[in-house]
A and B are shown apart, each in its own frame.
Chain A
Amino acid sequence: MKLVLTQYTEIVVLVAVLILLFGLYLSWTATRLDRLHVRLDAAWLALDAQLVRRSAATQELARSGLLDVASAVILATAARSSQIATEDEREPAESALTRDLRAAFDDPQQLALLRQTPEGTDLVQELGAAMRRVQLARRFHNESVRAVRELRGHRRVRYFRLAGRAPDKPTFEIDDEPPVAIGR
Chain B
Amino acid sequence: MKIGIVCPYAWDVPGGVQFHVRDLAAHLIGLGHEVSVLAPADEDTPVPPYVVAAGRAVPVPYNGSVARLNFGFLSNARVRRWLHDGNFDVLHLHEPITPSLSILACWSASGPIVATFHSANPRSRAMSAAYPMMQSALEKINARIAVSEYARRTLVEHYGGDAVVIPNGVDVSYFADAQPDPDWTTPEGDGGPDGKGGTIGFMGRFEEPRKGLSVLLEAFPAIVAARPATRLLVAGRGDTDEALKALPEEVRGNVTFLGMVSDEARARLLRSVDIYCAPNTGGESFGIILVEAMSAGAPVLATDLDAFSLVLEGGEAGMMFPNGDAAALAEAAIGLLRDPARRDALREAATEAVRRYDWSVVAADILSVYEMVTESTARVNAAQVTAAQLSAEARAEARAESRAESRSESRTDWRGQR
Contact = CB atoms under 8 A, between A and B. Distances in A.
Interface in B7-22: none
A129 B369 CA distance: 12
A92 to B, nearest CB: 16
Contacts of B387: 45
A146 interface: yes
B379 A45 contact: yes
A36 B137 CA distance: 11
B158 interface: no
A95 B356 CA distance: 25
B383 to A, nearest CB: 11
Contact of B162 (A39, A132, A142, A150): A142
A178 to B, nearest CB: 13
B182 interface: no
A41 B377 CA distance: 9
A135 interface: yes
A39 B112 CA distance: 9
B398 A35 contact: no
Contact of B380 (A41, A50, A147, A150): A41
A177 B33 CA distance: 30
B194 interface: no
Interface stretch (B139-147, B203-211, B294-302): B139-147
A43 B364 CA distance: 20
B369 A136 contact: yes
Interface string B375-408: 1110110001001100100010011001000000
A46 B376 contact: yes
B161 interface: yes
Given A41-B380, A132-B365, A49 B375 contact: yes
A46 B114 CA distance: 14
B136 A184 contact: no
Contacts of B369: 136
Given A133-B368, A136-B368, A84 B144 contact: no
A32 B132 CA distance: 12
Interface of A: 32, 35-36, 38-39, 41-46, 48-50, 80, 83-84, 86, 129, 132-133, 135-137, 139-140, 142-143, 146-147, 150, 184
13 contacts: A41-B380, A42-B373, A45-B388, A83-B398, A129-B364, A129-B368, A133-B372, A136-B365, A137-B372, A140-B144, A140-B373, A143-B161, A184-B355
Q: Which 7 A-B pairs have the closest CB atoms?
A: A46-B376, A45-B376, A42-B376, A42-B380, A143-B162, A139-B164, A84-B402
